[in-house]
Structure 1
Amino acid sequence: MILINYSIEFQTPFRVGTGMGQAGFIDNTTIRNRDGLAYIPGSTIKGRARAAALKLAPSFDISTHSTTSDQTGCLVTQPDGPCAICRIFGAPQWPGMLSFEKADLHGEISNILKTLDLHETPIKTHAQNYGRLLRTGIGIDRKLRVVVPDRLFTNECVGTKIPFTGRIIGEFPSSSPIELDLALLLAALKSISHLGGGRGRGLGRCEFTFIKIQVDGKEKSLDQLISSLAGGGLK
């Protein structure tokens, strides 16, 4: 059984958009839970980690399927089973063994905001307005390097120094090199420098920190696991 508890601390405001606007005032709102609090979907974290792992794998001589010829993942008929990327993240032909849960605002702050809203009637605004930022931008024609007419837009962002916390749980097949796969996943998460949209506009700079790493109930050290990849610790 694999258990990873982690926190994400943002150095700049971030935006994980819904793709939907709000009353003609905001063009793209931030994704929120039923209490109005912003969160980071597990699919966002999984997608960024998978992309990072694909880039890191060749550096550690870890073979993966060809993303050019086999874009959907390893073939079922592959004699040695799925590659490290498909084992960790799954593919259409291979079930994902790990569950990437959403990352929520740190529990203590979340509880305070929900308590404030509980006693506020009829409009509850504390959770929804916490860290809320509106950023206005303009469309740019990259080719001509000029402003695109009628392309003024406003995005909702979140700015907070309070970390978000989440977890990854599940298990790898018994036949897989568990510690090597886990080390690649942790290295990928650690290498993520941005989450969400607007990276080119300075949004979403972040850092992952691991609170707990367990394999079958036994605590594991990040440095020890990473050393199995590179022969040295990752600070």
Structure 2
Amino acid sequence: MTKTINITIRFFSQWHCGSGTSAGADVDELVVKDKNGMPYIPGKTLKGLIREAVEDYVSFSSQRDVLGMLLAETFGKELGEAPEQTAGCAHFGNAVLAEAEYEAIVGNHAQRYMYNKITTTAIDDDGIAKDHSLRSMEVVLPCILYASITGVPEELAVILSESLGMIKRMGQKRNRGLGRCEIKEGGNI
């Protein structure tokens, strides 16, 4: 038997999940956006973060072996773990804004107010900016996103839900204060 788990991601600081693209000389790193220019977190990113949290949680369990097999079944096996890469039974949806909030922002063409730009530069030992070290990054303002995880085996659902609390930061520059968040079960997409 499988279960669907709805999750809520509440950001307390600006965050950046990169798209791998830039805006030329203006911004070096853009966030991932949908067709309407709205930010979201890809399900693949969520899967990796949640898998790591669940693995950490399970590592303290006395049932590591049994749970390890259940993890592989749920999240899949990567190359190196097995001779062949296999898909897991769970599906991680993208984390998005609530539908009403999304519609209001897009309907009023207010997408640009979701973003900010931060810049950083390297400083040498004399306190002077190093040449060619200025970098800019697009970030999303703090917001609340929602996602669903379907196909979670019931035996792992409670552990997965409890593991969500172990994730405290998400995205790039987590060690610099970006992406502080709380993830917990509940909420509707």
What TM-score do you get using the length of structure 2 for normalisation? Answer: 0.85
Gaps of 5+ in 2: 79-83
Match of 1:219 in 2: none
Asked if 1:138 corresponds to 2:124, the answer is no
Aligned counterparts of 1:208 and 1:140: Cα–Cα separation in 2: 35
Deviations 1:103-128 (A, max 9, x none): 001222101012123xxxxxxxx22x
- Aligned with 1:105: secondary structure? coil
- Aligned with 1:49: secondary structure? helix
Once the two structures are TM-superposed, the CA of residue 185 in structure 1 deviates from its matched residue by 1.4
Once the two structures are TM-superposed, the CA of residue 23 in structure 1 deviates from its matched residue by 2.5
- Aligned with 1:53: secondary structure? helix
Whichever residue aligns with residue 136 of structure 2, its letter is T
Match of 1:190 in 2: 165
Q: Is the 8 A contact 2:58 2:67 kept in 1?
A: no
Match of 1:169 in 2: 150
Aligned counterparts of 1:6 and 1:39: Cα–Cα separation in 2: 14
Once the two structures are TM-superposed, the CA of residue 131 in structure 1 deviates from its matched residue by 2.3
Match of 2:7 in 1: 6
Aligned counterparts of 1:13 and 1:51: Cα–Cα separation in 2: 23
Whichever residue aligns with residue 120 of structure 2, its letter is G
Once the two structures are TM-superposed, the CA of residue 54 in structure 1 deviates from its matched residue by 1.7
- Equivalenced residue count is 180
Q: Is the 8 A contact 2:74 2:152 kept in 1?
A: no
Q: Is the 8 A contact 2:33 2:39 kept in 1?
A: yes
Q: Is the 8 A contact 1:6 1:208 kept in 2?
A: yes
Q: Is the 8 A contact 2:161 2:184 kept in 1?
A: no
Whichever residue aligns with residue 155 of structure 1, its letter is M
Asked if 1:152 corresponds to 2:134, the answer is yes
Whichever residue aligns with residue 75 of structure 2, its letter is F
Aligned to 2:107, which of 86, 96, 115? 115
Aligned counterparts of 1:23 and 1:138: Cα–Cα separation in 2: 17
Deviations 1:180-216 (A, max 9, x none): x122211222211011111111000000132269xxx
- Aligned with 2:107: secondary structure? helix
Deviations 1:27-61 (A, max 9, x none): 00010000110001111111111111222212122
TM superposition outliers: structure 1 runs of 4+ over 2 Å = 92-95, 144-149
Give me the identity figure in percent: 25
Which has the greater radius of gyration?
Answer: 1
What TM-score do you get using the length of structure 1 for normalisation? Answer: 0.69
Match of 2:77 in 1: 91
Match of 2:81 in 1: none
Larger relative contact order (C-alpha < 8 A, sep ≥ 6)? Answer: 2
Whichever residue aligns with residue 38 of structure 1, its letter is P
Whichever residue aligns with residue 177 of structure 2, its letter is G
Deviations 1:80-119 (A, max 9, x none): 89613212211144431000000001222101012123xx
Aligned to 2:96, which of 94, 104, 109? 104
Aligned counterparts of 2:126 and 2:50: Cα–Cα separation in 1: 33
